[in-house]
Every structure is written in structure tokens, then in C-alpha cells.
Chain A
Amino acid sequence: MITNDHELITEMRMLRDQVMGVTDMVVVTTDGLLIAADTGEAVDLDRLAAVAAATLGLAAGSGKAMNKGAPRQTTAEYSDGFLVVRPVGAVALMAVLGDLGMDVARLHVQSQAVAERINRLLTAPEEAEAASR
């Protein structure tokens, strides 16, 4: 279920423009259903969506087991880049792929605001509908 929502795509592209080294990004439901993507052609979207959901799920389980609360972000550094996963509200998450030189500190700051805006975009219709009832 991938969307063409213009505002959602714009948010993702803005993050890529603002943070050096960001190469790809997806927004996914917490159970791994792809919502939107801004990626190159070589990225396997379904696999990235599943991996992102599993990564955050594992982090949430670890946090619970260690009494550390809910995860705010997971960052995995590999020999050829980064995978960063962050929750988007209570029902979705965003996964960011970056190259070796990605500005992780800037991503941490910018992605927080982006996650909040994406959460509003995802939940606003439901809020509006509830308000109209």
C-alpha cells in the first residue's frame, strides 16, 4: 500500500536534501506495510520495510526487557553506510539509509521534526473525521 501523497513525499525529499549522505527513505507501518518511499531503484522496498519494522520491534522488546522505555531511534553503522529507524507516532516508522559520510548528528535533529510532521499527515484525516462526527 504505497501512496503518492505529495506532502509525504515532499517531507522525505526535504530530509534527503537537508541531511548530507541520506540516500533512501521509506515510511512503513509498525507491522511492516510500506506506506511511501523515496528510494533509488536498487533498494528492495519490501525487504527494507520488513527489516525496518523488525529492527524497531527488536529495539522495543529490548527496551521493555531492560526497563528502558520505548525506542526513540536505532542507528546501525555498517562498513558501507547506515540504517536509521525511528518511530512515527504510534502506528508507523521511518527508515533512512545513508552512505558512509552521512551526517548522523544532523539526521538525529532533523528526523525528529520530520517524524512529527509525517505523523500529522498520517493521522490528520482520522482526527478530522472524528471531529466532524
Chain B
Amino acid sequence: MFIGHEEVDDLALGSVVLGTGGGGDISLSKLMLHQAITTHGPVRVVDAGELDPTGLLLPVALVGASVGFTEKLINGGEAGRALQAMEEHWKRKGVAVLPLEVGGVNTLYPLVVAAELGLPCVDADTMRRAFPKIEMTQFTLAGITASPLIAVDVKGNVAVFDAVDNATAERFIRSCVVEMGMFAVMSCYSVTAKQCVDHAILGSMSYALEVGRRLSAIQRGDVGAWDEFLGFADAQILFSGKVVDIERRSVGGWTRGTVSLEQLDDASRTLRVDIQNENLIALEDGIALATVPDLISFVDVETGTPMTTDDLAYGQRLHTIAMPAHDGWRTPAAIELVGPRVFGYDIDYVPIGGTK
């Protein structure tokens, strides 16, 4: 599969839905990807299974405050330095770029890096949604270390961490990112193609593209497009309502908030969605209808536009969509890593559409 100019819009749409309210402002990463495709041609996306099983994969992601990125952008040379440092650590060349987070800007950014380095990009990731912390990956569940973790800033400063566990790696990168001017390019979880086949979520990039194509059909007004989208993503419309209250605040470097929606047909019904960077819990009358790690996303009722938390405003009419997380997130061990209690909620995980 190749990602060319024609695929960028649909891929970006799918990324916003998988970003579940977080994942940053997609528009700048779209510009970067268009620019990379213009310069280097369409980006080749490969299955991990096509690669030499012993081949080294180079994971990459942007990490930090999205407002820092929209003001400073990046230099463009960061990923090359980070991946070079990773290759030096392993004393071997990488064979492909691996996305860590297919959700938000980190869906498109690895494609930019792959184009610039002349490498293919692997059709896989470690989340198939956006999560706010580095340890929240399928690789952590498989016992794979995030270290060495390499962060590079716009000036070319390189920081390398060797942390005893992945949660510690997360704490290190957060304080490092502040010193680096609010965001950095990061590489961690370097794995072989075989480890990727065994433990990553395969097909995430093509999945995001397919989700985006179906949203695009909704936006065009195609007949049956909503059913097609919901069927493909195994998703349901939890609630269709109007935003009547938004509260956002910054607490210890995290954006927390709640959004309240009033049902369009029945104003006595309200839904509350709790946010910590991403949408985490949807509650009606104190009862959880959907919880993390399942995906909760907002899509504009009229236009089919998926919305990030920053896009929300009073009066918008939104479908609250719930999509089951990848099966890898629905095990007891996974719930211990990314379930509601990890985010401080005293409730159990409520699987959308039941368990399989």
C-alpha cells in the first residue's frame, strides 16, 4: 500500500476518531505529509510480516503539548537524529519506521519520517488509539521495554534514557519535554519485525484509512454511510446531543475536563464525558455507558466532522460514538494498565458491545 496525496485527508479523518478527543491538531501534520509526498513521492506502507524477521524497526512519535507544536513546529531533522541514535545503540541499520500511536498527529508523522529517510512505514502500532502515557502500549503487556528512550528537540539536543520500567520512562520523558521547549520527537520500544508481528497491533494504519474513508462518505452525504461506518468499526452511537457545558482546566500538566450534552430529542437526558487529554468515560445518570480503553469520540451530527477536545464549543450537536478497543486491550492485564481505575475512576471497565 502507498499513501499519496489522495489518501492524506481520509487518513487524517480516521486519525482524529482514533485520537478519541486528544492526539493534537491534525492540520499541521497533514501539511507536513503533503510536503513530504511532494518531495519524496508516495510513502510505502508494508506489513511487518513482509520484512526480515530479525530486521530492526525504528518507532517514532511526537510527544508534548500540541500548542507548543503549533507555535514552534519542528526542525525536521529531529527524527533522523533520534533514529540514528537508536541505530548506534543497536549497532545496526533499521529496516522500517514503526508508528507507536495510530491516533491523532502520530498517525501521520511516522509517514513523514519514513518518506524523508527513504524507508517503508510498517502497517501497525502499539495502541490503535491515542493514549496519554508511554507505558500504555501492547508492548508493555508483552514485557517489552520502552528503553532506550531517545528524545530530540528542535536544536538537536539528544537525551537518552534507560529506565527500569516503562512507567518510569514516561516520568522521565515528561520532565525532559518541558526542558526541550514543550515537545520533542521520541523513539522508544525498538523491536524486531518478528516482535512486531507477535506483539504489535497489525494493520492499524490501513484501519485508520478505512475508518476515514467511511467518515468521508458520511461527509459527502452518501446513502447508508452512517451504517457502513458503524458496521465497519463495530461502533455505536451512544448519545446524540447538544453541548451544554464544557469545563477544562490544567492540573499538574494534564488537561482535565468534562463535557455535558443534552439529548436532542429528550432534553431531560444528559450525558457527561470525562476527559484527561482523551475522552475516557461516558456517563448517563451516573452510570458508565462506555469507558477507557474503548474509544469515545465526538462526531458533528450535521457535517460528520470528528472533533477533538479543543474543538468543542457550546451548542454543537454531536454524536457520541463508542468503538470497542482492539481485543488486545480487553484482557484483565490490559485493564490493569489502561482501565478506568488507572485514571483515578472508581468504576470497572464496561465493554462496548459486550466481550467476545
- A and B pair up: no
Residues of B whose CB lies within 8 Å of any CB of A are none
Residues of A whose CB lies within 8 Å of any CB of B are none
